[in-house]
Amino acid sequence: MENKDQLFIKMALNAWNSHIKKATAAFDQLDDEGLQKEIAPGRNRVIYVLGHLTAVHDGMLPILGLGNRQYPGLDSIFIREPDNAGTALPPAQSLREQWKSINGTLDKHFAELSPDAWFGPHTLVSKEDFEKEPWRNKLNVLINRTNHLAHHLGQLVLVLK
């Protein structure tokens, strides 16, 4: 039987993996033209959500102490600026490949993290703050990013109807 820490980590990873699978299926369901659809009139396009999620997930590598970002250039388009139909975006196929690549990289790293590592501090919290607030750990980052992904999955449902 697994201990409670292992069980909790497994539950969090199962939620993450389930959401990744659903988002990937949603993106794969749409052709490149479909990625240009707006979530709602005047709102982000699906391709922007794809790039945004890819950039956010890429940012998890250094936050979790797992290495350097693979696609730091995505931040200027998909994190710092809102969607704008006039902005030149990377090709849809490149974004699709980057989405799958970063999530595959995270999956490999996640499989190697011990429970102690999951409950250890992420790189954005100081040692002093972590001692006062031990919930500011790597597992909490995963849970936060899973919730973020769930939010955008809810938006994608509007397009896939």
Mean pLDDT of residues grouped by 10 in the chain (161 residues)? Answer: 88 98 97 94 93 98 98 95 85 98 98 97 97 97 98 94 73
Residues with Cβ < 8 Å from 58, sequence gap 6 or more? 69, 70, 71, 72, 74, 98, 102
Instruction: Assess contact for 61 and 68: CB atoms under 8 A.
Output: yes
What's the pLDDT at 120? Answer: 98
Q: pLDDT tens digit string along 128-141?
A: 999 999 999 999 99
Instruction: Assess contact for 144 and 25: CB atoms under 8 A.
Output: no
Q: Is 62 exposed, middle or buried (0-12, 13-18, 19+ CB in 10 A)?
A: middle
Separation between Cα atoms, residue 139 and residue 77, nearest integer Å: 28
What's the pLDDT at 73? Answer: 96
Looking at the structure of the chain, the number of domains it has is: 1
Residue 147: which domain range? 4-160
What's the pLDDT at 42? Answer: 84
Q: Is 51 exposed, middle or buried (0-12, 13-18, 19+ CB in 10 A)?
A: buried
What's the pLDDT at 47? Answer: 97
Separation between Cα atoms, residue 53 and residue 67, nearest integer Å: 18
Q: pLDDT tens digit string along 14-47?
A: 999 999 999 999 999 999 999 999 998 888 999 9
CATH number at residue 134: 1.20.120.450
Q: Select from 73, 52, 32 the least CA-distant residue to 155.
A: 52
Helices and strands in the chain: count of H runs, count of E runs: 7, 0
What's the pLDDT at 41? Answer: 87
What's the pLDDT at 85? Answer: 63
What's the pLDDT at 161? Answer: 73
Separation between Cα atoms, residue 20 and residue 42, nearest integer Å: 26
What's the pLDDT at 135? Answer: 97
pTM of whole model > 0.85?
A: yes
